[in-house]
Amino acid sequence: MASRTASSVTLSFHADEYKDDAQIISDNDEPNIVSLPDDYTRAVTEDYLSPSMKAASNPDHNILKAVLSHGYFLSEQRRCDEETRDPKILDFSSEFSHGAIRSRGRSIVGITTPLMEAIRAHLPANVKILLEAGANPNGVPHCIMEDYAALFLRFRPSINGLIDGSPDVARRSVFLENMNVPQISNLTCEEVEDRQGGAMAPFWCEEGFTQACFWTHGETMPSLVLAAKSGETEIVDLLLHAGADAIFWKSPQFYVPETASESSLSVSSPLHAAIEAGNVEMVEFLLKRGFEPNTMPLANPTRCVTPLMATIVHCSSFNKEAFDILCRAPSINFELRTPVYGVHILHFAVARLDFELLKHVAGKTPLGNAGETALGHTLLHVACMCANVAQIQRHSGIIYKSIHETRDLRPFNDTNPESFSHDCGYFSAQTEMVKYLWNNGVRDFSKRDVHGNTALHYLAGCRALNEELFAWLLSERGSETLCVWQEAQNIHGATPKILEMASKARAHRKAETWREVLEMPPETPHGNAFAMSRPTADDHPATNASANPPPALTQMANLSLSSDSAPDQRTLLTIPPEIRDNIVMEVLLNPARPNFEAVNTPTETTFKNYFSIGFVNKQLYATAKDVVAISKGLVIISMNWDGLTKDIETAGIPIVTDHHIRTVTFHSMRIHVNFPTLSKKVVKSILVLASDLPDISRVLRALSLDALHPQTHAHGEFPRISMQIQFNEEVTTTKQDQIRLLRSLKYANSIGSIKILKSDDPSLQVILPGYKGFQYVPGMQLSGYIDDCEKCQWFLAIRKIDGDDYISLSDWKLVHAGRAVAAKNYELAMLRYTEIVTFIGLCQLKNPTVLLPIFDYDTLLDIRSFRAGIGLVENSILLKKWKDARHHIVHVLQDIDHREWIPKEEKRHAENLLFKVDEYYCRKKVARKSAKTVQVSGPTRQGGRTVVESDVLGQHGGYTPFS
């Protein structure tokens, strides 16, 4: 036999007499050979799957057998050949055994073991091999189940500090020892108080709940839950036969026992997992195996539901087939409620606003059985609630204090309400639902919840009142409904009528503002153009219920366009239609030209050097469509005018869309063109609301130029906005509000693309009533950065618009890169993806600390940069530029474990690309070496790979790492 330091090893397996201890044989034998890549003999860090986990997910079960029997031995030999060693590498024998584990829940790998990977890969044969080798049939250790269940305890400290993967402050047992209230108990006064004071939560759980997927793979622990989700009945039987814990799921339970088992610590159950996956065959199979149809995962006490409820809550649409299968179970109970919030299945059915769903559920349990939840919500309360926070008029003070629940059933927190539409498309379904409830005896609109709100309070707190439903209620029970509407007060003394008036007043102020913004008069009176005094009223209309919607406290942002030829410095210039086309043609085709050579009239010389579209209408689009499509101009759209956005996107024009401004659809659009030169400045007058700082930021943002645009000429500069703000003299403002505004201006001046210039011109000063000596100076020193950012709502709104722009542009660029790939123009795709990476890098460099975590723009941009990097790698491989692919994949995977925001499947794809690149270089290395095989007396390596002989080949005659 050859020495053990030779370069080749062969392992022989015989299907008819397989033993776990594989035999080392001579290379003179001629069995079939299966190649075992380095991945299965190379120890890795905790950031990657262990060799046994990778083997467990391989369809060729011989690979798994080889790794379990000789993987560690081969790894030790590799270590002897290597000169250096990474101290982070886990070179333990357990890494090649059935007992390997990954326990960092917030990493991309998450919580997993070889058994869990085999289940995830739908490989019953590998599951059987691991169980026979002694793997834990529950998939993960009991201690990890306990640690994860601790994240879902009531009354525990916030988990915000654990997002970065930090360990918990205490073990579950310690938490429970220091809690004097059981987990399964009635709602406490403290929990009700937490929902008040501006909080917003679904009607059936708490605000800011821990999501079931907080840890990667956490919601699918233990193994039976994952097996049920995968739909593999054979695997479920194998696990049950091996002794996997299922006691908690097979009998009625009312609390998590003190000595908790794996099944009782799970935040899900096999039945729930099967329902969520939409696998009705698995649901029926589990019921036949004795699983309790009424089980609830009580380890998540505030969000656990029965399987019947899960067919509504855990599915995107009602899973009627699974519901009917559960209904046929002899022990099914339709009257169970959630343990803490006391929610009945009928409440969930109503929350969907699905008429057919409610009728189907009501056929099993009468509507009268629903009663009230622990928060006092009836079916009518739930039916009248808004679907999410975006549909509630939260900008009104009294509504903000009064309304704290929505009928949101989504499995994640509503942290960014502006990302969801607050249209009125649900009104017809809501009307139909309430009519059905009314006609079936649910008619008490006078019942109040813990906040003192009736169902009509929730109806009135929406951004837009369902007029059809309210008119129908008046027609049915006019006097009773009207009495509740006008007289039923909540704990803040507000009636539904007061809430409705506050909502309409808020909408009226916003519409009035935009009407003046978008329909400005041709000229502004001389003198103090900013002193637009108006009568004011408080946002709470209770003191003057019959008054018209109160006008708002106003601010004036002064922006004007002046030139040597303009006699009046305050004149508002709008481009004449006959001049507009020439400007569009000249500027968009030649954005950097110093002047208009084709324009000769004196009037046209006023508009030169640069073109910026602030608001776009169909008339301009029809005129400039072809020109804009072939130019590099940026189109800023403030609304979707009759499908305009879709039309422009179809033409392949870059768009920055702001869907927040809904009221502009009722007003005419204007085009404002700003052309700064060395001797002229851009100034326009715009009226905005002091209480609506996000709107003023959008206007200023639309009338400014982005830093990514080209300069007007060699000595030009981007337009700077000079601003004067004056509060209405009749309104008293606090010094705190004034300081907050000044801080906002300071940061806009120092960081934002909108600049506030220091000048001797008095129009550049900030005037505040009672503090006329308290003027804004760009260099003024204020307190700490974090404190300022928490209060600078105006500045944050500006940065939010910038973030939206960057994300929209990145998405547009990704689409065009994808089109190049589809057309097999890989060189163009490489250029596109490189441009995206460069563009996002500039965005992040421009805003290193401004893009605050609350907006998540840095993470959203990073996701797009990650996808562009993946595109570079894929196209490099297609072009067979392996060196470039290797270079790009290193940057793509940099610090990948700490970037939890990147989707798991995309991370896996990146890892696969890394393996593919490594595989290429391994093959290249093999090709350079001698093809001769040197016989050895023990395990050796050949060409950087381990060779395994087998009589049992894969479906294609051998194992291929990558297709």
Work out the average pLDDT over 65-81: 79
* Residue 473 forms part of a structural domain: yes
User: Which of 187-191, 928-932, 937-941 is predicted with the least confidence, judged by mean pLDDT?
Assistant: 937-941
Q: How many domains does the chain divide into?
A: 5
* 245-263: pLDDT as tens digits: 999 999 888 889 989 999 9
Q: Which of 748, 771, 791 is the last residue of a domain?
A: 791
Q: Please give the structure tokens belonging to residue 470.
A: 């309210």
pLDDT per position as a tens digit, 633-645 = 333 333 334 454 5
Q: Which two tokens stand for residue 169?
A: 């402050």
Cβ proximity of 690 and 727 under 8 Å = yes
Place of tokens 């840095």: 858
- In contact, 116 and 225? CB cutoff 8 Å: no
Inform me whether the pLDDT recorded for 453 exceeds 50.
yes
In a domain, 26, yes or no: no
Residue 312 within any structural domain of the chain: yes
Does residue 95 lie in a domain region? no
Residue 661's CB is within 10 A of a number of other CB atoms, namely: 20
Confidence of residue 523 (pLDDT cuts 50, 70, 90): very low
Q: What is the pLDDT of residue 474?
A: 82
DSSP 607-652: S-S---BSS--HHHHHHHHHHHHTS-PPEEESS--TTHHHHHHHTT
* Coil vs helix vs strand at 657: strand
Q: Helix, strand or coil for residue 185?
A: coil
Position 342 pLDDT exceeds 60:
yes
- If you average pLDDT over every residue of the chain, what do you get? 67
Clarify whether residues 787 and 802 are in a common domain. no
Q: Please identify, among 901, 923, 939, the residue that sits at the C-terminal boundary of a domain.
A: 901
Q: Hey, is 572 helix, strand or coil?
A: coil
Residues 583 and 563 both lie in one domain: no
- Kindly state whether residue 43 falls inside one of the protein's structural domains: no
Q: Does any domain span residue 237? A: yes
DSSP for 277-323, written as a single string: TT-HHHHHHHHHTT--TT---TTSTTT---HHHHHHHSSSS--HHHH
pLDDT at 298 over 90: yes
- Closest Cα to residue 613, out of 656, 646, 579, 571? 656
- 302 and 257 share one domain: yes
Whether a cis peptide bond, with omega within 30° of 0, leads into 710 is no
Residue 51 scores a pLDDT above 50:
yes
Cα–Cα distance for residue pair 797/696, rounded to 1 Å: 9
Is 347 found in the same domain as 325? no
Q: Choose between 592 and 517: higher pLDDT.
A: 517
Q: List the beta strands (DSSP E) in 178-279.
A: 201-202
| Mean pLDDT, range 360-368, rounded to an integer | 94
Residue 549 has pLDDT above 80, yes or no: no
Which of 331, 356, 390 terminates a domain? The answer is: 331
Answer whether residue 293 shows pLDDT above 90: yes
The neighbour count for residue 906, using CB atoms within 10 Å, is 15
- Please indicate, yes or no, whether residues 604 and 461 belong to a single structural domain of this protein: no
pLDDT digits (tens, 9 = 90+) for 464-478: 888 889 888 888 777
Q: Name the more confident of 273 and 543.
A: 273
Q: Report DSSP state, residue 211.
A: P
Tokens coding 234: 């054979």
Same domain, 714 and 762: yes
In three-state secondary structure terms, 166 is: coil
State pLDDT tens for residues 554-590. Answer: 222 222 222 222 322 222 223 344 444 444 444 333 3
CA 427 vs. chain centroid, Å, equals: 26
CATH assignment at residue 478 = 1.25.40.20
- Judged by average pLDDT, the poorest of 95-99, 258-262, 508-512, 916-920 is 508-512
Joined tokens for residue 626: 């072809």
Alpha carbon 709 to its chain centroid, in Å, reads 29
Same domain (yes/no): 662, 687: no
Most confident segment among 271-285, 461-475, 654-668, 684-698 = 271-285
* In a shared domain, residues 555 and 584: no
Residue showing tokens 């400007």: 583
In a domain, 961, yes or no: no
Angle at 15 between CA 12 and CA 16, to 5 degrees: 115
Q: Given this model, what pLDDT does residue 6 score?
A: 30
Contacts of 467 (CB under 8 A, 6+ apart): none
Query: What is the rounded average pLDDT of the residues 86-94?
Result: 76
State yes or no: pLDDT of 185 exceeds 70. Answer: yes
CB contact set of 480 (below 8 Å; sequence gap of 6+): 445, 446
- Paired residues of 34 in beta bridges: 948
Q: What is the rounded average pLDDT of the residues 78-93? A: 69
949 bridge partner residues: 33
* CB contact set of 567 (below 8 Å; sequence gap of 6+): none
Whole-number Å distance between alpha carbons of 916 and 256: 46
What phi and psi, each to the nearest 5 degrees, are found at residue 307? -55, -35
Per the domain annotation, does 955 fall within a domain?
no
What pLDDT is attached to residue 490?
93
Q: What is this structure's pTM?
A: 0.56
Whole-angstrom distance, CA of residue 367 vs CA of residue 377: 14
Tell which residue, 766, 717, 770, 854, has the closest CA to residue 417. 854
- Residues 810-839 have pLDDT tens digits of 777 788 788 888 888 888 888 888 878 877
Phi/psi of residue 555, nearest 5 degrees: -125, 155
The total of other beta-carbon atoms located within 10 Å of residue 665's CB is: 13
Q: Torsion angle, CA of 484/487/491/493, rounded to 10 degrees?
A: 150
Instruction: Answer whether residue 312 shows pLDDT above 80.
Output: yes
Query: What's the residue count for the chain?
Result: 963
Q: Looking at the structure, do residues 555 and 690 belong to the same domain, yes or no?
A: yes
Full residue range of the structural domain in which residue 730 is found: 541-570+680-791
| Tokens at 622, concatenated | 């029809």
Same domain, 369 and 281: no
Q: Do residue 564 and residue 581 come from a single domain?
A: no
Pair (768, 861) in one structural domain: no
Band (700; pLDDT cuts 50, 70, 90): very low
